[in-house]
Chains A and B, each alone.
Chain A
Amino acid sequence: MRTPFRAARRHSLIEGDSVTEQLQDTARPNVLRRAVEPLQRGPGRLHGRGPRDPRKIIFAVVAIILLWEVAIPLAILVWGSVSGARPGASEFLSFSSFTLDNFSRAFGGGRMGSVFIDTTIFATGTAALAFVLGTFLAWVAERTNTPLRSLITVMMVLRLILPGILTTISWIFLASPNVGTLNHWAMNIFGLGEPPLNIYSMHGMIWVEAMDILPLVYLLMGAALRSTDPSLEEASLVSGKGLLQTTSRITLPLVLPAILATIILLIIRGIETFETPALIGIPAQRFTFVVEIWRQTSTTPTDFGLAAVYAVLILAFCWCLLWFYNRMTRHAEMFAVITGKAFRPRRIDLGRWRWVTFGATWFIIMCSLGLPMIILLWASFYPPYRGFQPISAEAIPLLSLDNYKAVFDNDLVQRAFVNSTFLGLTSATLCVLLVTIAAWITVKTKIRGRKLLDNLAFAPIAIPAVTMGVAFLWLYLTVPLPVYGTIWILLLLYVARFMAVAMRIMSASMFQVNDELHEAAEVSGAGWWRSFRTVTMPLLRPGMLAAWIFVLVHAYRELSASLIVYSYGNEPIGVAIFDIWENGSYGLLSAFGILIVLVLIFFSVIARVISSRYGVKES
């Protein structure tokens, strides 16, 4: 089983986006779990040690933490959507405050219709565009002899690390009607009277967001193409069917579940994303639910009830989609895809056409990664007192390091960096500790109720970030704990938000630690603690590291949930960038962004190096 699939899996565990994990890890553990469970022999090592079994106490503690982090906030949120009282008001928790007023306001105002339509167009449009382009890249990389195809994965992984807010801003720099470099060039070269591109439109939103989720499609479809047994296609070719018929009657049906699952995930992403709808959608007067929620909680007059209704609605919608997704991937073992086995791919010799695919590939990569990074670099060197100007030869003498100097003098930037570093380190550590115990209970013990832990820890994967933010806002406005207005609410939020992927990573590595390895230690005379310390722990270490780095990197990138609950003084990096953007300090923002990107790349490289050195190879 030591295969490219596994390798791809490992790096995506480290750098992957939450939804990548979701496909791979929901699809595979279903199969995996079914295969593993019958092998777990009876109550085994865990036979009764009486009611004072310490594991039951551990179980209870973890269960309470998870309930507090996931179930309680959602419950409060749902109640908030049907309560007439504001959070924190004394009558909020009494049944007398029940009202459908929030819902009637939401559906009665007339705004709901246009928000629904815009969200739908945005999410489906993004999904469609990203799917086509991403699948094309995956096909080029996996199935053709296009030159330099092996670089595509590197580029896509690099793209995955970039925070969405930076690439959204980059595209505004590139294609805004006033200062967009591309517009500027097009008008100069072709002598156009007016800018050809307008990023402030639904098309612009879809384009920018599609570029953002391209790597996700690439990784998912690449895995699907890679794990399709080429002999199934060869059998069709030998049976006398041509390439076209083979593709339409064999390849496509085999990959269909993966296609549908990917598209569903893309739509969920489109619904829950914040950066593009906020930065481009608001000026373009196209509003999605997520932006509406943010506006209702952050701009006066606030309407927490309405925000709760919207948050519950998109939550319900995402859960419906996830239900379809699970149905689609449940029978994954029926299809040749997603067997986890990697095959030698059957490459198509494209002949001269390979230069066409080469060109198209690098055009897409340029749009997704190259241009945004170039423009961001340019902006970071452009003098701060001159605003932002398009890239041009005349402006080159003006370039300076002033913005970088400003970064190190700016209070907000420094505060944000400290805050995010603190949040990243603590939430990663807490998250990994929590899910390691939870995964151990769900995978390696037979304690009744362990499924509850699994479900609770995995539920956040389908909770849109803003919904979670609003839920935490309601919860800590309601309970009399000194959490709201401090950095601790962000910490609790991050742990809840990133727990699902960490849980998937940890349970996958728990499954990999064969029970016999632990038993062999016991038979060799080691007690429970020694065998845990010398055998189980070292084997789990790569998984724990992967989960830790994942949470750390994503904590640095977090924006949409933080925006709902942060307060002055505890802004994380994402919020700070958003703030600087609104103040118009584009140079400062770009320099800060470049530094953040370097930090994130550094973390990912460290993770890669460590995991390749200490990663346990399967034999």
Chain B
Amino acid sequence: MIEVTDLLKTFAGGKVRAVDEISFTVPAGSVLTLLGPSGCGKTTTMRSIAGLEKPDSGEVKVGGKVVYSSHEKVNLRANQRNVGMVFQSYAIWPHMTVLDNVSYPLKGKAERATVRDRTLRSLRLVGLDHLADRRAPNLSGGQQQRVALARALVAEPEVLLLDEPLSNLDAKLRETMRKEIRELQRSLGITTLYVTHDQSEALAISDLVAVMSQGRIVDFGEPERIYARPRSRSVADFIGMANIVNVQNVREMDGIWVGDSQLGRLAFHGDGPVPSSCSVLIRLEDVQLVGPEQADNTNVWPGQVVSALYLGGYWDCIIDVNGHRLRTQIPRRQRPRESERVYVFAAGRSCYMLAEDDSEPIVDTDAEQHLALGSAAS
């Protein structure tokens, strides 16, 4: 379990607030991902937890033990924190063999006789025990990645920190590795903090996602919730591709909200009090083509195909609806043609109100509650 409270880290003499008093908890045994664009403070947060960066103030607990606290004047060094970390560059020491690299954290900690056994066990976890005696520079990117993982796990640390571990791999290997990391984490049940700027990676690998922007957490929750119901416009934009529609004149009808948009009348979902106007998120894959017989149904609008790109699994289509360009993914069998007149439908339950960015996001980062809510909903 990692508990971070009011963590503040500034650079340039306090002018840049890289991490701006954030708090969150990674529950024992689960994976939390810090997701955000470069420069949002996610790596600095992780480095503060690892002890590679000294925060300005706040508190960090790893496995219930205070490793940093400005209040109690505690600042354990990185080597005293009992964490395992995989670096973005893997940081495999080029002058050592694979075995030397992986056994490094055990030296002076474990009994000499057990070192080799434990090292090989860790290498077996990542499927590299046959390469133990190879020199580190003679490894492929994926193998280096696994060595880094084995090294991070060998001393059985309290928590595992992964700093963009997949960003240096090619696309196919990245998918394989992310599956492997997830399976390994599940089987070991190790508390994991994961940092990435890749939203699909974050969604795939995490129990919880914290979306960061400018040093703050702007959304926090389970991957499904973050994707389907992002907290704000910028989060929606960052996570996946989105159509965002402005809606005026919002009122409630039979438990569903309805408003006027450029597309036409739009029924959607929202939380809290009904605003007079707002933005609404319509995910690309939630927009379908329907036959003209449904023309009068709710959330069905006439439009014209502007462009259609065939991407193998689906058509990436832009459809002009009343002057608003709606981007969609059309199943490959439907084969839309350019300038064809069509009817589009976006189910009301998949359209969701977005908070404006300038409104201060009130992000509840109580992980237990999110996980509980998530499991109750499913």
Q: Do A and B bind each other?
A: yes
Chain B residue at smallest Cβ distance from A521: B104
Cα A562 to Cα B104 with chains together (Å): 49
Interface set, chain B 38-88, CB cutoff 8 A to A: 44, 47, 50-54, 77-85, 87-88
Question: A192 near B: Cβ within 8 Å?
Answer: no
Inter-chain contacts of A617 with B (CB < 8 A): 94, 137
B327 is an interface residue with CB less than 8 A from chain A:
no
Residues of B within 8 A of A535 (CB): 93
Residue-by-residue, is A504-537 near B (CB-CB < 8 Å gives 1, otherwise 0)?
0000000000101101111111111001001100
- Choose from B11, B78, B89, B109 the contact partner of A514 (Cβ within 8 Å): B89
* Chain B nearest CB, measured from A74 CB (Å): 35
Bound together, the chains give a CA A79 to CA B196 distance in angstroms of 60
Is the beta-carbon distance between A44 and B104 smaller than 8 angstroms? no
A514-B89, A516-B87, A519-B91 known; A524 vs B155 contact (CB < 8 Å): yes
Give Cα distance in the complex from A406 to B102, angstroms. 59
Q: Is the CB of A526 within 8 A of B95?
A: no
Contact indicator per residue, chain B 213-228, by CB within 8 Å of chain A (1) or not (0): 0000000000000000
- On whether the beta carbons of A42 and B53 are closer than 8 Å, the reply is yes
Asked if A522 and B51 make an inter-chain contact with CB atoms under 8 angstroms apart, the answer reads: yes
Give the CA-CA distance A47 to B53 in the complex, in Å: 8
A41 within 8 A of B: yes
Q: Is the CB of A519 within 8 A of B87?
A: yes
The answer, yes or no, to whether A90 is at the interface (CB within 8 Å) is no
B151 contacts partner chain A, Cβ-Cβ < 8 Å: yes
Give B123-151 as 1s and 0s: 1 = Cβ < 8 Å from A's Cβ atoms. Answer: 00000000000000101000010001001
CA distance A535 to B53 in the complex (A): 20
Least CB separation from B109: chain A residue: A525
- With A45-B52, A616-B137 known as contacts, the answer to whether A522 contacts B94 (CB < 8 A) is no
Residues of A within 8 A of B109 (CB): 525
Contacts of A528 in B (CB 8 A): 77
Cα A538 to Cα B161 with chains together (Å): 26
CA–CA, A332 and B36, complex, Å:
34
Given A47-B54, A617-B137, A523-B85 contact (CB < 8 Å): yes
Identify which of B94, B105, B108, B155 contacts A619 (C-beta below 8 A).
Answer: B94
User: Quick check: is A496 within 8 A (CB to CB) of the other chain?
Assistant: no
A514 and B95 contact, CB distance less than 8 A: no
Does residue A539 face the partner (Cβ distance < 8 Å to B)?
A: yes
Q: Number of residues in A with C-beta < 8 Å to the partner?
A: 29
Among candidates B80, B87, B89, B94, residue contacting A616 with C-beta atoms closer than 8 Å: B94
Q: Are A516 and B91 in contact (CB under 8 A)?
A: yes
Kindly identify, within residues 87 to 124 of chain A, every residue whose CB is under 8 Å from any CB belonging to chain B.
none
Which residue in chain A gives the minimum CB-CB distance to B135? A617
Report Cα–Cα, A523/B152, bound state, in Å.
9
**Complex: how many Å from CA A524 to CA B155?**
8
A195 to B148, CA, bound (A): 73
Contact flags (1/0) for B96-118 with A, using CB distance below 8 Å?
00000000110011000000000
CB distance from A61 to the nearest CB of B (A): 25
Contact A524 B54 (CB under 8 A): no
Q: Chain A residue with minimal CB distance to B80?
A: A525
Query: 8 Å CB contacts to B: which residues of A527-558?
Result: 527-528, 531, 534-535, 538-539
Which of A45, A524, A534, A619 is B137 in contact with, Cβ under 8 Å? A619
The answer for the CA separation of A314 and B137 in the assembled complex, in Å, is 48
A523 in contact with B50 (CB, 8 Å) = yes
Question: Can you list, as one digit per residue, whether each of A42-84 has a CB less than 8 Å from chain B (1) or not (0)?
Answer: 1111010000000000000000000000000000000000000
- Besides A525-B82, A525-B105, 11 new A-B residue pairs in contact (Cβ under 8 A), listed by A number: A514-B89, A516-B91, A519-B87, A521-B93, A522-B51, A524-B79, A524-B104, A525-B80, A525-B155, A535-B93, A616-B94
5 pairs, CB–CB < 8 Å, chain A vs chain B: A47-B54, A516-B87, A519-B91, A523-B51, A538-B93
Interface residues of B (CB under 8 A from A): 11, 18, 44, 47, 50-54, 77-85, 87-89, 91, 93-95, 104-105, 108-109, 137, 139, 144, 148, 151-152, 155, 161
- 8 closest Cβ pairs, A-B complex: A524-B105, A520-B91, A522-B78, A516-B91, A47-B54, A516-B87, A523-B85, A617-B137
